[in-house]
Amino acid sequence: MSSETSAGAPLIVKDVVCGFCGLGCDDLVVEVAGREVRPKASVCPEAARLLRRLEPAGEAGPVTDEVYDQARRLLDVARAPVFAGLGADIEGGRAILDLAIRHGGVLDHAASDGLFANYAAVQRTGWLSTTLAEVRNHCDVLLVIGEDPAAAFGRFFERALPAEALFAASRHVIVLGGSLGASARRQLGGATVTELAADDPVAALAALCQMVSGPAPRGASFGGAAAEALAEAAAALKGAAYAVAVWNAGSLDRADLIAERATRLVDALNVTTRAGVFPLGGRDNVIGINQLLLWRLGYPLRTAIRGEASEHDASLYATGAALKDADLLVWVSAFRPEPPPAFDGPVIVIGHPDTEFATPPDVFIPVGTPGVDHAGTVFRMDSIVSLPLGALRVATLPSVAEAVRRLEPVR
Amino acid sequence: MRIRLRGGRVLDPTNRENAVARDVEFVDGRVVAPTGERADAEYELGGAIVMAGGIDLHSHIAGGKMNLARLLMQEDRRAYPEKILPGMSGSFCGCGGGRAVPTAHATGCRYAELGYTTVFEPAMLGSNARSAHLEMADIPNLDTGAYLVLGNDDFILRLIARGAPQEEINAYVGWMLKATQAFAIKIVNPGGINAFKFNARKLDLDEANPHYEVTPRTVLTTLIRAVTELGVPHPIHLHGCNLGVPGNDETTLATIAATEGRRLHLTHLQFHSYGTEGDRRFSSSAARIAAMVNANPNISVDVGQVMFGQTVTASADYMSQYRNRGLANPKKSIGMDIELDAGCGVVPFEYRDKNFVNALQWAIGLELFLLVEDPWRIFLTTDHPNGGPFTTYPHLIRLLMDRDFRNAQLATLNKTAQAHTLLGGITREYSLEEIAILTRAAPARILGLADKGHLAPGAVADIAVHDENADREAMFSKAKLVFKDGRLIVRDGEVVDLAPGTTHVVRTEFDTAIEGKLDAWFDRTVGLKAKHFRIADGELRGGRGPTVLTCVGGAS
């Protein structure tokens, strides 16, 4: 962009939509001066880091036609490409999917581990879930399983449990197997917080579930949590008008078992009162790309297109496993400078311009960031709401969709 | 580009043409009066039946609940892999597959093969509207549109509870139609989905919501008035209270009476026509309800016919779906409270012909089809996929047109169910013309789509050609030719091209003073700004935007 513009007066942009962690905040305030972007208000530390642009002079420029030609050659000879990372908005995802349909290959997202841990529960039994606005207004008892949600989702409590609610008369947060940090406590204001230490949250949660659904199990403690404290938590959950269980499957050991037991707990609560699971996750539009695959291919992520059919296997087509049989890695990461996993074969990266590589890829096509350089659509973690990202500055780099469409055969 | 169809017989009930032997001509996607001019392409039809493209006014084809259904029912997808399209060899499009919940591409292709060119998603949640539109953009060969679910959202219940003037309700409805790019208003279990969030497990027509103390009747009459005064062509599309509950016949009859002569569309009426007679406390009330529909010209209905086999039910009616989750087959289900807006429930279901209840549901649907007299007020639906997938329509058409076939099917069903239905004694057989009314002419009329559902000059050149066949299931299973906007997309029952569709939306006038209140509501209460909730025209159909029908309001 020209120097005249960068010399212009800074512009304060309000109501900026953020697509990074999946919480879907849309009230950020940033200052834009030419190509510089400075977070100003309502920005969590993670978003601040990913939005900030302070040294536009050193930014990578668009690559030449020859680079696209080289990428096209690699794609043409590949027999088993893996399209991974997939940190892109919906239009970017559509372009990658079309490319994968043309060349065949496996599709997976960098943040899909948590998603598939949850799917282990949801595909076996289903679950009863809820969305952000319901939590904000109905939830009077929130069960957090594992780490402080504010660690990965900076403004979680401010967004999910604000002081004002239409219906919830009070707010009680029960943390099982973790503790809340200062930021979470500040956001929660006057809410009651109970922390229940547990060295085995799966066992503690199973006991809690049993206490809610029937006669309490025998024992003084479960998974390191005192039976008495668990019984109090069970009573609070049963006494809630609307209880909600949250966990971040991406950061938990044995997350599939946590998801399964949380699902059972919420099922048991709904016999007499109302409750829902609210699984945390969804960075870099993993939910949106997953939704896109579901309506386009009928399968979620971790799906392979071979010949004229697609097939899904959550283990076989996870990035790590799929790379063992791959002869090309196409890595897409537009939201953050995340390098590709180690891979012996050729690598094409369509990524954030600041990406640092241990080994330089065969092809690197830097792309703009959705919500900074390009407008685009991303999904929130609940998979129901999607949001329009805006552009904060004029793009000098292509979007993922633009870059990927240039990889289609020259007509 | 001028295309001429020669030697066909035109079946166009809108224009009173019943198998009239004449040519049909269209230029650049619009039907024109036949000329002697040289055509760019001519098709010799040899007496085949020529109709406008089919219009399905109620089929769940897009939105979050369908993706939840796909996620939950991977076995449906695996059992129905990608269909090879010989007419499109070498151009694999990644169509996906599935039967009960097909992918976007498969939905467009399978509908096109049956001669359908326009389909409406009948339950779009405002909070999920952007997603539904993204998905509809990926459905080829069909024009689409969506009905916005209202009446369980906390914003309208608060308005009604505080006795807000009708003008304010109307402004909200007008704003929401525009913001979500919707075509009509749907009410699902009026106020019931909301009541479930306050732990109510059922809500009758005159039962008060535990929090707002508003009854379903008030929600219904308030919204009927709103769409009437705003001039929305399609009447309120109602999924009533007590879906699937024996004894809901009384609710349905009371609902019709509650309209006091105003227009109302009762959707998947079959699921709302259950009595409590007999040892099993489950019986058909189709005759009573059909009589009431016949006597009330303000009422239109679609059936939601049950078809035997595996499917998955997906509905915004979480209250009812939660109640029915014990019947899930396979044993798994999803439920969701959604965004101070509504909810959703996904429950896999297998309708079995030897099961008393399922067999009687099948019979009740057919009784309704055959006992409602006016073909312009009843529509052919299975509430896809809830009663069965839309791909069963040809079989359903044969059941309606062929009494012997119908009775032979009936004879194979659960014996007790056979004894509890009037079906065997009903002699009516639908004519071809009546099928054309149910599947294209009448839907176009009730939706206010003046240039669809018929073949007069000026009509959109969405055209389906079927070879005559005494086996009506065979006849309607594979269209001989289908044109979308004048472009050939199906030949001999196979998709040969993918044409982009459009999305129909309505726009009404409304008092923009509502915007300040909505800004505050979304920002503080929902946690999402109104301007980000709103969907821009450019977000539809890959930037091409919607096809807008401007409503003329004023009547009340």
Write down the domain spans for chain A. Answer: 61-111+283-368+397-405, 115-277
Closest residue of chain A to B78, computed from CA coordinates: A311
pLDDT at A1: 38
Question: Residues of A with CB below 8 A from B96's CB?
Answer: 296-299, 310
Question: Residues of A with CB below 8 A from B526's CB?
Answer: 133, 136
pLDDT at A60: 82
Instruction: Give the C-alpha distances (Å, rounded to integers) separating A379 from A127, A376, A385.
Output: 20, 10, 6
- Predicted complex ipTM exceeds 0.85: yes
pLDDT at B90: 56
Q: Is B154 on the interface with A (CB under 8 A)?
A: yes
Q: Is 3.40.228.10 the CATH classification of the domain at A115-277? A: yes
Question: Residues of B with CB below 8 A from A162's CB?
Answer: 527
Q: Is 1.10.3860 the CATH classification of the domain at B52-495? A: no
The closest of B351, B434, B428, B342 to B151, measured between CA atoms, is: B342
Distance, CA of A57 to CA of A72 (rounded, Å)? 30
Directed axis angle between helix B154-161 and helix B166-180, to 10°?
A: 170
Q: Is B121 on the interface with A (CB under 8 A)?
A: no
Whether the per-residue pLDDT at A3 is higher than 50: the answer is no
- Cα A147–chain centre separation: 16
Mean pLDDT calculated for residue range A42-54? 97
Distance, CA of B299 to CA of B344 (rounded, Å)? 27
Q: Is B326 on the interface with A (CB under 8 A)?
A: no
Distance, CA of B24 to CA of B454 (rounded, Å)? 12
The tens digit of pLDDT for each residue in A358-399 reads 999 999 999 999 999 999 999 999 999 999 999 999 999 999
Q: Which of A83, A294, A378, A402 to mutate to test the interface with B (most CBs of B within 10 A)?
A: A294
DSSP string across B481-492: EEEETTEEEEET
**Contact criterion met (CB below 8 Å) for B13 and B51:** no
Question: Residues of A with CB below 8 A from B134's CB?
Answer: 90, 292, 377, 386
Distance, CA of B121 to CA of B67 (rounded, Å)? 14
The hierarchical CATH code for the domain A61-111+283-368+397-405 is: 3.40.50
Mean pLDDT calculated for residue range A28-43? 97
Q: Is B94's CB within 8 Å of A132's CB?
A: no
Q: Is A166's CB within 8 Å of B340's CB?
A: yes
Q: Is B138 on the interface with A (CB under 8 A)?
A: yes
What percent of chain A lies above the pLDDT cut of 70? Answer: 98
Mean pLDDT calculated for residue range A66-93? 98
Q: Which of B152, B340, B524, B533 to mutate to test the interface with A (most CBs of A within 10 A)?
A: B340
* B residues 60..99 contacting A (CB < 8 A): 62, 64, 66-68, 70-72, 74, 77, 81-82, 84, 92-94, 96-98
Distance, CA of B405 to CA of B422 (rounded, Å)? 16
pLDDT at A2: 39
Rg (CA), chain A: 23
For the beta carbon of residue B298, count every other beta carbon within 10 angstroms.
16
pLDDT at A4: 41
Q: Is B62's CB within 8 Å of A270's CB?
A: no
Token couple for A6: 């960068």
Alpha carbons within 13 A on the beta-carbon side of A222: 21
Distance from CA of B78 to the nearest CA of A (A): 8
pLDDT at A123: 87
Distance, CA of B242 to CA of B290 (rounded, Å)? 18
A115-277 and A61-111+283-368+397-405 share a CATH fold: no
Secondary structure of chain A in the HEC alphabet? CCHHHHCCCCEEEEEECCCCCCCCCCCEEEEEECCEEEEEECCCHHHHHHHCECCHHHCCCCCCHHHHHHHHHHHHHCCCEEEEEEECCHHHHHHHHHHHHHHCEEECCCCHHHHHHHHHHHHHHCCEECCHHHHHHHCCEEEEECCCHHHCCCCHHHHHCCCCCCCCCCCEEEEECCCCCHHHHHHHCCCEEEEECCCCHHHHHHHHHHHHHCCCCCCCEECCEEHHHHHHHHHHHHHCCEEEEEEEHHHCCCHHHHHHHHHHHHHHHCCCCEEEECCECCHHHHHHHHHHHHHHCCCCCCEEEECCEEEECCCCCCHHHHHCCCCEEEEEECCCCCCCCCCCCCEEEEECCCCCCCCCCCEEEECCCECCCECEEEECCCCCCEEEECCCCCCCCCCHHHHHHCCCCCC
Closest residue of chain A to B135, computed from CA coordinates: A295
Q: Is B96's CB within 8 Å of A297's CB?
A: yes
- The number of C-beta contacts closer than 8 angstroms across A and B is 176
The tens digit of pLDDT for each residue in A264-292 reads 999 999 999 999 999 999 999 999 999 99
* B residues 94..113 contacting A (CB < 8 A): 94, 96-98, 101-106
Closest residue of chain A to B89, computed from CA coordinates: A308
The tens digit of pLDDT for each residue in A202-250 reads 999 999 999 999 899 999 999 999 999 999 999 999 999 999 999 999 9
User: If chain B, 556 residues long, is cut into consecutive pieces of 10 residues, what is the mean pLDDT of each piece?
Assistant: 97 98 97 96 98 98 97 95 71 82 96 98 98 97 98 98 98 98 98 98 97 98 98 98 97 98 98 97 98 98 98 98 96 98 98 98 98 98 98 98 98 97 98 98 98 98 98 98 98 94 97 97 98 98 97 71
Q: Is B211 on the interface with A (CB under 8 A)?
A: yes
Given CA atoms A48, A51, A53, A58 in this order, what sign does their dihedral have? positive
Closest residue of chain A to B348, computed from CA coordinates: A126
Q: Is A15 on the interface with B (CB under 8 A)?
A: yes
Distance from CA of B333 to the nearest CA of A (A): 5
Show me where the domains of chain B are located: 52-495, 503-550
The residue whose two tokens read 């009077």 is A140
